[in-house]
């Protein structure tokens, strides 16, 4: 009888667990990018960063998106644009400073992207960084790695997993 009560308690506890949806349907999606500049004044310099866009937002152009970049630079505007005019298989992430730095992340896809869903598989990605708005000086990386950032487990899921483990351990001890 105790085993039946323990199982019933476990099922009741699991009923309160918020079943997390897959990362692919999350509203804000965060992508990580990293690489090493191949050419320009920063050749050999490693960089990392993230950009986030909202799948509930505009499917073609979103401005003011959060972007991080590890190379010291300052920016005052940012945007992500899916398939800019006349480039259907392309996503462009831009960050600029008026009269100063420009960062462009160019992502090529085998199918046309939309921002109301995760980006489609990527065929290639490049990062362009210029300390001036006219691109007179340019550092380029043509083999940038861009991946969907993994979500951290939900606290309720971790708590429930721990409680289920403790319940299982106590059941096993009683049985032994």
pLDDT per position as a tens digit, 119-154: 999 999 999 999 887 778 899 999 999 999 876 555
- Straight-line distance from the first to the last Cα atom of the chain, in angstroms, rounded to the nearest whole number: 16
Q: What is the pLDDT of residue 176?
A: 65
Whether residues 137 and 162 share a domain: the answer is no
Decide if 36 contacts 139 (C-beta within 8 A): no
Whether residues 49 and 131 share a domain: the answer is yes
Whether residues 64 and 115 share a domain: the answer is yes
Number of domain units in the chain: 2
What residue numbers bound the domain in which 8 lies? 2-20+154-175
Name residues whose C-beta falls within 8 Å of residue 31's C-beta, 6 or more positions apart in sequence: 50, 51, 52, 119, 146, 147, 148, 149
Whether residues 54 and 134 share a domain: the answer is yes
Q: What is the pLDDT of residue 81?
A: 93
Surface-to-core class of residue 87, CB atoms within 10 Å of its CB (0-12 exposed, 13-18 middle, 19+ buried): middle
Query: Consecutive 10-residue runs of the chain (176 residues): their mean pLDDT?
Result: 58 52 64 95 95 93 94 88 87 88 92 92 93 84 90 60 70 70
Whether residues 56 and 135 share a domain: the answer is yes
Whether residues 9 and 37 share a domain: the answer is no
Q: What is the pLDDT of residue 9?
A: 56
Whether residues 15 and 31 share a domain: the answer is no
Assigned token pair, 54: 């909202």
Separation of alpha carbons 82 and 95, rounded Å: 15
Axis-axis angle for helices 155-175, 2-15 (nearest 10):
180
Whether residues 7 and 66 share a domain: the answer is no
The answer, as to whether pTM is greater than 0.85, is no
Q: What is the pLDDT of residue 4?
A: 62
Whether residues 42 and 127 share a domain: the answer is yes
């Amino acid at each position: 009888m105790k085993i039946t009560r323990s199982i019933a308690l476990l099922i009741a506890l699991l009923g309160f667990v918020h079943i997390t949806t897959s990362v692919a349907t999350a509203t804000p999606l965060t992508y990580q990018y990293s690489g090493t500049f191949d050419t320009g004044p920063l050749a050999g310099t490693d960089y990392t960063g993230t950009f986030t866009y909202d799948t509930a937002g505009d499917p073609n152009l979103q401005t003011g998106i959060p972007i991080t970049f590890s190379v010291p630079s300052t920016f005052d505007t940012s945007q992500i644009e899916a398939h800019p005019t006349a480039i259907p298989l392309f996503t462009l992430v831009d960050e600029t400073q008026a009269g100063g730095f420009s960062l462009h992340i160019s992502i090529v896809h085998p199918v046309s992207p939309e921002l109301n869903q995760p980006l489609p598989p990527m065929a290639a990605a490049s990062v362009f960084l210029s300390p001036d708005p006219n691109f007179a000086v340019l550092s380029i990386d043509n083999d940038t790695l861009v991946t969907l950032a993994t979500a951290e487990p939900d606290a309720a899921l971790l708590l429930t997993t721990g409680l289920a483990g403790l319940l299982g351990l106590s059941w096993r001890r009683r049985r032994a």
